[in-house]
Chains A and B, each alone.
Chain A
Amino acid sequence: MSALTVIYALLLYAATFILIAGLVYRINLYARTPAPLKIPTTPAPTSVPGVVLRMLGELVLFTSLFKGNKPTWIFGWLFHFSLLLVLLGHLRYFVEPVWAWVAVAQQLGVYAGSAMLLGLAGLWLRRIVVDRVRYISAPSDHLMLALLASIAATGVVMRTASPTDIVAVKAFVLGLLVFDWHPLPGDGFLVTHLLLVAVLMIVFPFSKLLHAPAVFFSPTRVQVDDPREKRHLASWAADLESPRR
Chain B
Amino acid sequence: MAAPEFRTPELKPYPEIPVVVEGTMAHSQPYVAPPEHQQPLGYPGELVEDWQRVAIDKMGELVAKYRSLQVFLDACVKCGACSDKCHYFLGTGDPKNMPVARQDLFRKVYRRYYTLSGKYLPWLVGAEDLTKEVLDDWYRYFHQCSECRRCSVYCPYGIDTAEITMAAREIMASIGLGQKYSNEIIAKVYKLGNNLGLPQPALADTLEGLEEDVEEETGVRVRYPLDEAGAEVLLVTPSADFFAEPQVDGLIGYGKVLHQAGISWTLSSHASEAANFGLFVGSYQNMRKVALRIREAALELGVKRIVFGECGHAWRVAYSFLNTLAGPFDFLDSRYPVPQHIVEVTHDLVKRGALTLDSSANDERRVTFHDSCNIARASRMGNIPGGQFVLPREVLSAVCNHVYDMRADTIGEATYCCGGGGGLLTDDLLELRVKGALPRMQALKEVVDRHDVTHLVAICAICKSQFAKVLPYYGFEMDQILSLHQLVGDAVVLGTKQ
Binding site for B on A (CB under 8 A): 26, 29-30, 33-39, 41-46, 50, 58, 62, 64-65, 67-69, 72, 76, 123, 126-127, 130-133, 135-141, 143, 206-208, 210-211, 214-215, 217-221, 225, 227-233, 236-237, 240, 244-245
Contacts and interface: CB of A to CB of B under 8 A. Distances in A.
Contacts of B218: none
B65 A65 contact: no
A218 B156 CA distance: 10
A221 B157 contact: yes
B20 A30 contact: no
Contacts of B288: 240
Nearest to B300: A245
A130 B321 CA distance: 39
Nearest to A227: B320
7 cross-chain pairs, A with B, having the tightest CB-CB distances, nearest first:
A68-B154, A68-B81, A220-B158, A138-B126, A214-B75, A133-B80, A43-B385
A46 B68 contact: no
A194 B81 CA distance: 32
Interface string B355-398: 00000000000000000000011111001111011000000000
B487 interface: no
19 contacts: A42-B380, A42-B413, A64-B155, A65-B155, A68-B85, A132-B84, A132-B98, A133-B79, A135-B101, A136-B98, A214-B71, A215-B156, A218-B157, A219-B67, A219-B68, A227-B321, A236-B65, A240-B284, A245-B299
Contacts of A38: 320-321, 324
Given A34-B65, A41-B160, A72-B80, 13 more contacts: A34-B66, A37-B284, A41-B149, A43-B388, A64-B81, A68-B82, A76-B156, A133-B78, A136-B78, A219-B71, A227-B324, A228-B319, A244-B292
B82 to A, nearest CB: 7
B80 A228 contact: no
Interface string B327-370: 11000000001110000000000000000000000000000000
A76 B81 CA distance: 11
Contacts of A218: 68, 71-72, 75, 157-159
Contacts of B292: 244
Given A135-B98, A136-B98, A26 B83 contact: no
Contact of A64 (B63, B158, B328): B158
A231 B328 contact: yes
A240 B285 contact: yes
B83 A133 contact: yes
Contact of B284 (A65, A206, A210, A237): A237
Contacts of B19: 131
Contacts of A67: 153-154
Most-contacted residue by chain A among B19, B149, B156, B319 (CB, 10 A) = B156
Contacts of A43: 380, 385-386, 388-389, 413
Nearest to A29: B70
Nearest to B385: A43
Contact of B79 (A76, A139, A231): A76
Given A42-B388, A64-B156, A217-B71, A228 B149 contact: no
A217 B72 CA distance: 10
A143 B121 CA distance: 13
B64 interface: yes
A62 B377 CA distance: 19
Contacts of B157: 211, 214-215, 218, 221
B75 A208 contact: yes
Contacts of B115: 206
Interface residues of B, number: 75
Given A64-B153, A139-B124, A39 B320 contact: yes
A232 B323 contact: yes
A208 B78 contact: yes
B276 to A, nearest CB: 12
B370 to A, nearest CB: 17
A29 B299 CA distance: 40
A37 B104 contact: no
A228 B126 CA distance: 41
B378 A39 contact: yes
A50 B384 CA distance: 12
Interface in B295-329: 296, 299, 319-321, 323-324, 327-328
A228 B74 contact: no
Select the residue from A41, A208, A221, A244 with max chain B CB neighbours within 10 A: A41
A29 B384 CA distance: 33
A11 to B, nearest CB: 19
B66 A227 contact: no
A211 B337 CA distance: 37
Contact of A69 (B153, B154, B327, B383): B154
A35 B66 contact: yes
B104 A136 contact: yes
A72 B124 CA distance: 23
B163 interface: yes
B330 to A, nearest CB: 10
A69 B296 CA distance: 47
A229 B338 CA distance: 8
Contact of A135 (B20, B159, B163, B296): B20
Given A217-B67, A219-B68, A240-B288, A208 B76 contact: yes
Nearest to A217: B71
B31 interface: no
B243 interface: no
B1 interface: no
A138 B78 contact: yes
Given A41-B377, A62-B156, A140 B125 contact: yes
A103 B363 CA distance: 70
Contact of B117 (A46, A206, A214): A206
B152 interface: yes
A42 B71 contact: no
A199 B117 CA distance: 14
A147 to B, nearest CB: 13
A30 B75 CA distance: 11
Nearest to B317: A37
Contacts of A133: 78-80, 83
